[in-house]
Amino acid sequence: MIKNLLSRYNFHYPKILVYMLQASEYNIRDYFIWHWRVKNFKRVEQRKHFVKTAKSLLLLAAAWLIIISIIGFAVYFLWLGALNKILFFLIIFIVPYILAYIIIIPLLIIKLIQWPIEYVIIYKARQRLKNHKAVKIAIAGSFGKTTMREILKTILSEGRKTAAPSLNYNTPIGISRFIKTLADDEEVLIFELGEYYPGDIKKLCNLVQPDMGIITGINEAHLQKFKKIERTIKTIYELADFLGDKPLYVNGENELAKNNAQSKHIIYSREGVGKLKIINQKTDLSGTSFVITNGNIEVELKTNLLGLHQIGPIAAAIDIALKIGLSFEQIKNGVSKIKSFNHRLELKTDSAGIITLDDTYNGNPDGVNAVIEFLAGLKNCRRFYVTPGLVEMGIKTEEVHKQIGKKLAEANIEKIILIKNSVTSYIEQGLRENNYKGEIVRFDDALSAFAALPHLTVKGDIVLLQNDWPDQYQ
């Protein structure tokens, strides 16, 4: 209690506030929701730290200016005799509480200055894209966008000059900055559209002007922000509204995406897409293979990506590649070159012979189901499933996590390692209700779990790291 109180009177407190703003991407609402939940401010910076940028340093300077001004005025009025001592100490006492709110004023001023600058950058980017001859493909969805982007980029690059923002540049300003770097001779441009609030996708479509689109799926990711799943659906389907009769691919393996698709939309899944049919799907630790048929043509394809759930997006990419004019030979090459992406079911084998599947960037229910399905198919090895659970599931939190417990129990995963927090008890409940027979090990934080893992595992074990909680959800 006292520790919590004192954490506000720490020298680093102003920096922690700015860090919280920065980690919330300067979204004031997200910042306040986080701030109201924090009890001990010394424990905020756990996984990431304050990053020095012009904006963050300016805010930090403003924060100190605010503190010094308040204290300075208080001392001045005390000296004048206009303030009694009790009131003086009261003012000093509430400084950190006021600061958390007043810090928003300089932020708003910065935003006010930034807004016209950003508007010009975005406007210029939009004009440039309008005149750009490339085929523009937009990807929207609650999950799987980055994977889809990478698959498309790798395959299409076999026959066309293809470009896509390399990082998670999925906001108007991020995309505009990427557009500035274009050489203008690109033949295909791929964009991820990030959705945080209703209207986001529409805004991005206006900027990108896509010629075709892909909806990778809709689920409870970001439900905390959208409140209702219907709003998520509506927001993501803003892409369909914009495209009209232009081609839109929809993931048929995701119920919400599929159920909201119209007949003109193209459904893709591990079974095929349009006229393309897929057979002989196989997956193990060495990769995934399948045969794609188009009338009389049969092509066997192999990728390093793990899991049958990867086949659907690859099929969609193949269909787009054929539309753009790539040959099956080029496609086959492209598929074989797809690499696993950082922290997305990425396989690493260490010197002790332990296989780690790093899936720490996967924090959505569909992705989790796909991974558990993959683990269930692995034979003759001991499987460890390490997770802190998923974030931003809103009212679905309990249901989603119980479901994860159920799936893990059904897959007979030998060891479940839980990094304890508000949701892990639901996973345990799900495990218990489905007669889980393996072992559950609980850790208080991710670092102690990661430190213990080398001592829990032996050669041949498979360790799956599922999702990683950023600081705002601890």
Please state the closest distance from residue 420 (CB atom) to other proteins, in A.
Answer: 12
Binding-site residue total for other proteins (CB under 8 A)? 17
Whole-number CA gyration radius for the chain:
25
Euclidean distance between CA atoms 52 and 135, whole angstroms: 37
Please state the closest distance from residue 455 (CB atom) to other proteins, in A.
Answer: 3
Nearer to other proteins, 457 or 472 (CB): 457
Placement of tokens 């360790």 in the chain: 463
Contacts of 138 (CB under 8 A, 6+ apart): 191, 193, 204, 205, 208, 210, 212, 213, 214, 239
Contacts of 166 (CB under 8 A, 6+ apart): none
Nearer to other proteins, 242 or 385 (CB): 385
Please state the closest distance from residue 461 (CB atom) to other proteins, in A.
Answer: 8
Euclidean distance between CA atoms 17 and 32, whole angstroms: 10
Please state the closest distance from residue 351 (CB atom) to other proteins, in A.
Answer: 5
Please state the closest distance from residue 417 (CB atom) to other proteins, in A.
Answer: 10
Nearer to other proteins, 181 or 351 (CB): 351
* 459 lies in the binding site for other proteins (CB under 8 A): yes
Euclidean distance between CA atoms 284 and 377, whole angstroms: 8
Both tokens of residue 116? Answer: 């016209």
* 460 lies in the binding site for other proteins (CB under 8 A): yes
Euclidean distance between CA atoms 405 and 429, whole angstroms: 7
Indicate which single residue of 457, 467, 472, 473 sits in contact with other proteins (rule: CB under 8 A): 457
Euclidean distance between CA atoms 456 and 40, whole angstroms: 32
* 381 lies in the binding site for other proteins (CB under 8 A): no
Please state the closest distance from residue 430 (CB atom) to other proteins, in A.
Answer: 22
Contacts of 431 (CB under 8 A, 6+ apart): 405, 406, 408, 409, 416, 440
Site string for other proteins, 435-454 (x = CB under 8 A): ------xxx----x--xx-x
* 58 lies in the binding site for other proteins (CB under 8 A): no
Nearer to other proteins, 85 or 459 (CB): 459
Euclidean distance between CA atoms 402 and 169, whole angstroms: 33
Site string for other proteins, 337-366 (x = CB under 8 A): --------------xxxx------------
Nearer to other proteins, 4 or 448 (CB): 448
Nearer to other proteins, 186 or 461 (CB): 461
348 CB burial (10 A radius; 0-12, 13-18, 19+): exposed
Indicate which single residue of 455, 465, 469, 470 sits in contact with other proteins (rule: CB under 8 A): 455
Nearer to other proteins, 325 or 460 (CB): 460
> Which of 283, 250, 278 minimizes the C-alpha distance to 266?
250
Nearer to other proteins, 306 or 453 (CB): 453
Kindly list the residues in this chain that would bind other proteins in the complex (CB under 8 A): 351-354, 441-443, 448, 451-452, 454-460
